Amino acid sequence: MSTSNWEDAHKSYLTSLRARLKKAYALEAEPDSTPDKRWLNGFMAAGFHSGLVTLKELKLENMTAYRKVCGETMSNAKEDRLQQRLMKLSAS
């Protein structure tokens, strides 16, 4: 894949990921809501395994989306759970 094509694919992936993360965190913030994260986990795993995104970028995007939706930074406990979730995605 040429550099330009990779950059376009990377940008497109991140744009889609940001929208999906914001939607997932908005649903999570609603009372009596339990969002199903299986599709989102698969999407993040596919991006990682295809080389479009790193684990560091995935973590940063998750934390940014959480902050934009919830208006606060992610707690250490939530950040630890996110890190564990991302490590599981990278192993699959």
Residue written as tokens 């990682």? 48
Domain count of the fold of the chain = 1
Task: State the average pLDDT for the chain.
Answer: 92
pTM of the model: 0.88
Residue of higher predicted confidence among 16 and 4: 16
Q: What integer pLDDT is reported at residue 31 of this predicted model?
A: 87
> Which class for 62: exposed (0-12), middle (13-18), buried (19 or more C-beta within 10 A)?
buried
State which residues form the domain around 29: 3-91
* Residues 67, 78: Cα–Cα separation, whole Å: 12
Residue of higher predicted confidence among 1 and 49: 49
* Residues 80, 67: Cα–Cα separation, whole Å: 16
DSSP 8-state symbol, 30 = S
Tens-place pLDDT, residues 24-39: 999 988 888 887 889 9
Tens-place pLDDT, residues 16-26: 999 999 999 99
